[in-house]
Each structure stands twice: as structure tokens, then as C-alpha cells.
Amino acid sequence: MTDLELKSKVNTKQTIIPKVAINKLQTSIPTEKKRKSSALSLKSLTQKREETTAKSKIEINTDDLPKKPFQKQELLDLWNAYIAILNKKGEKLLASLMSSNQPEINLTKLTFSLPNSRMKNSLLKAKPQILKYLREQLQNYQIDFKIITNEAMEKKFAYTPKEKYEVLREKNLLLSKLKKTFDLDV
């Protein structure tokens, strides 16, 4: 056999591939799969953030859900009960944010004031869970609340012992008499 004949036989053998072999080749070729990202990577953090925002953006059609009327006191009692639940779970920061002020209630709309945007953002993250609890307990799915930042509220918080004394004295004028009677220091 000459070289030319050998090349032609090799070419014919290479071009003839059984269909079974083609199917095996196609299945064995790795396709692009989404790889799971490491729990410690930046990509995993952005994926988790995107998943939580996608979950929180799901809106419920409240037209078909119950709209049972409720009293303001019922809502405030549930608000305080939720604070107690948070304390039991160990979520002290959120519980203290919610107990820092009572929400103002106007029919089914609540307004909650906080002194700064950092506190507001913390409460906004928990808003879906809070609303879910209130709506289920009161059987009224029209309830909603908004959080506003009130910079003037910041002065309410007392940090030093003297500031604490002044705040308490404003609430109870007899405290200054008690201080004078026993000659107490602040």
C-alpha cells in the first residue's frame, strides 16, 4: 500500500463515527453548570443578599385576605408581645429598637419614629416579619407601617448620669425634692 492509500483509509475511518459514539460524546462533554460558591466568598454574600431582597419584594394581593377590624390597644399589645418574642429569641437589638417608641396608629397604617437612619435600616430589615406577625394575629392584611427618621428624637436619649437625672426629673418633679432631702449627688 502506498502512502496515499493509507491516508484515504485513515480519513474514511475518522469520518465514519457511529451514532452511539456521538451520543456518548455529547453526554460526556461537560456543559456549563452553575457552580456553588463558597460560603466564605464575596459572591456568596451578594447571592444571599439578592435572594433575600427577591423574597422581600414578593407582594401579596391583600384583596382576597381577611380585613377584620381591630382596636388600637390590641395592636399595641401585639407589638409588645412581639418585642417579648424577640427578647426570648435573643434578638435584643431589634427588641430595643421596637420598644424605644410606640407606633402611631391611624386605621391600618402605623408610623414609627426613630432618631437616626441606622436604626431605621435595622428595623426595615425586620419589617416583613413584623408585618407578617401583626397581620396574622389581627387577621387584617391591610396593616402596613412606615418608619420615619426624626432627628429631634435623638435628644431624648440620656447618656451621662446628669442627663439621666434631668430626664427623670422632667418626668417626676419630686425627684429633685428627694435629692435635696437626702443630699444626693448625681
Residue 131, pLDDT score: 92
pLDDT at 29 over 70: no
Q: Averaged over 11-21, what is the pLDDT? A: 52
Q: Which residues contact 186 (CB under 8 A, 6 or more apart)?
A: 161, 162, 165, 179
Give me the pLDDT at residue 101, please.
Answer: 85
The answer to whether residues 43 and 37 touch, using CB atoms and an 8 Å cutoff, is yes
The residues, ordered by sequence, that sit 6+ positions from 108 with a Cβ below 8 Å of its Cβ are 140, 142, 143, 144
- CA atoms of 12 and 46, how far apart (whole Å): 53
Helix, coil or strand: residue 110 = strand
Domains of the chain: 72-149 (3.30.300.180), 154-186 (no CATH)
Cα separation, 146 vs 114, whole angstroms: 11
Are the CB atoms for 129 and 85 separated by under 8 Å?
A: no
In the predicted model, what is the mean pLDDT of the chain?
Answer: 77
The pLDDT of residue 90 is 92
The span from the CA of 2 to the CA of 149, in Å, is: 91
**pLDDT at position 88, please?**
94
Q: Which of 9-13, 55-59, 154-158 has the lowest mean pLDDT?
A: 9-13
Q: Give pLDDT, residue 70.
A: 82
pLDDT tens string 91-114? 999 999 898 888 998 888 889 888
Mean local confidence (pLDDT), 35-41: 64
Tell me the mean pLDDT in the region 58-76.
75
C-alpha–C-alpha distance, residues 39 and 74, integer Å = 43
